[in-house]
C-alpha cells in the first residue's frame, strides 16, 4: 500500500469547514483513498473513499487532485462531535483488505 | 442501521488466564477482522478471516491467539495465557467483501485489562 502523510494536528472553529489534507505521492493507478476517523477510544469509523473523482456523502466530501498525489477530506460544517483522529489510507478496494492505520490527524473543533 | 457489536465492553483478567472476546459482525458481511490498540498507540491489525479460515495474520497474532466463527453470527478472539502487554482495546470489524468496496465497519471495542 502507498504511504500517506498527514499533519499531526489541526484546529477548526465550530460551524466552519474542516479541510484535512493527505499526501500520497506513490499511489498506484488502482489504489483507492479511504478516510476513517476515531473518536476518542471508540472503534474507527469509515467516512468515505474515492479513486479519482471527487466524492460526497452525508458525512463529508473527498477531493482528489488530478494527479492523484494528494487529497482533501472536507467536513462542511464541523461540530464538536467531529473532534477525532482522522486517518487517510491508500489501498486496493474490494474483497479483503486489512486497514493499516498511521498516526492520522488529530482534529480539534473549537467552540 | 446494521452495526458490529462486541461483548464484553470491558474485561479484567489475571495474568496467565484465558479470555474470549466476542463479536457479532454485520449479517451479510463476508470478511471479519480483529485489531487492537494499546493505550496511546496506533490501531494495529491482528488477523482477518474469510470462508472459515484465516486470510492473513500479523506478527502480533502468534500461537497465543486464535479466532473462530462458532456459528453463523459470532466471531471470537481467544487469547490464551494472557500477559500484561495484552492490555489494550480490541476492535472487531467486518466488510462485505467483493460485493463492496472494502470499507470496514468497526465495533465499539472490548477493553482488556490484564492484572
CA distance A101 to chain B (A): 6
Coil, strand, or helix at residue B99? helix
Q: A53-62, A85-94, A102-111: lowest mean pLDDT where?
A: A85-94
B86 three-state secondary structure: helix
A19, with CB counted inside 10 A (0-12, 13-18, 19+), is middle
Contacts of B41 (CB under 8 A, 6+ apart): none
Nearest to B106 among A32, A45, A98 (CB): A45
Identify the band that residue A2 occupies on the pLDDT scale cut at 50, 70 and 90: low
Query: Which residues of A are less than 8 Å from B5 in CB distance?
Result: none
Structure confidence at residue B1 as a pLDDT band (50, 70, 90): confident
For cell 463479536, what's the residue?
B23
Minimal CA–CA distance to A44: which of B77, B93, B33? B93
* Continuous segment of H or E residues that includes residue A32: strand A31-38
- In tens, the pLDDT along B25-50 reads 999 898 999 999 999 999 999 999 99
C-alpha distances (whole Å) from A62 to each of A71, B50, B86 are: 7, 30, 36
Amino acid at each position: 500500500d502507498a504511504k500517506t502523510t498527514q499533519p499531526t494536528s489541526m484546529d477548526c472553529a465550530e460551524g466552519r469547514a474542516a479541510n484535512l489534507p493527505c499526501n500520497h505521492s506513490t499511489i498506484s493507478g488502482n489504489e483507492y483513498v479511504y478516510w476513517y476517523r476515531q473518536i476518542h477510544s471508540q472503534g474507527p469509523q469509515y467516512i468515505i473513499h474515492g479513486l479519482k473523482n471527487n466524492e460526497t456523502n452525508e458525512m463529508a466530501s473527498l477531493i482528489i487532485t488530478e494527479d492523484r498525489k494528494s487529497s482533501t477530506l472536507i467536513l462542511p460544517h464541523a461540530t464538536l462531535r467531529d473532534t477525532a483522529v482522522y486517518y487517510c489510507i491508500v489501498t486496493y478496494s474490494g474483497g479483503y483488505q486489512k486497514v493499516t492505520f498511521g498516526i492520522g490527524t488529530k482534529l480539534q473543533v473549537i467552540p | 442501521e446494521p452495526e458490529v457489536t462486541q461483548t464484553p465492553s470491558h474485561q479484567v483478567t489475571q495474568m496467565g488466564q484465558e479470555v474470549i472476546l466476542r463479536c457479532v459482525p454485520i449479517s451479510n458481511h463476508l470478511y471479519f477482522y480483529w485489531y487492537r490498540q494499546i493505550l496511546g498507540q496506533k490501531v494495529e491489525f491482528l488477523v482477518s478471516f474469510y470462508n472459515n479460515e484465516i486470510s492473513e495474520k500479523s506478527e502480533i497474532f502468534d500461537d497465543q491467539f486464535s479466532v473462530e466463527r462458532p456459528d453463523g453470527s459470532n466471531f471470537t478472539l481467544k487469547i490464551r495465557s494472557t500477559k500484561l502487554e495484552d492490555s489494550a482495546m480490541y476492535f472487531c470489524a467486518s466488510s462485505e467483501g467483493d460485493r463492496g468496496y472494502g470499507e470496514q465497519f468497526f465495533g465499539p471495542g472490548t477493553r482488556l485489562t490484564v492484572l
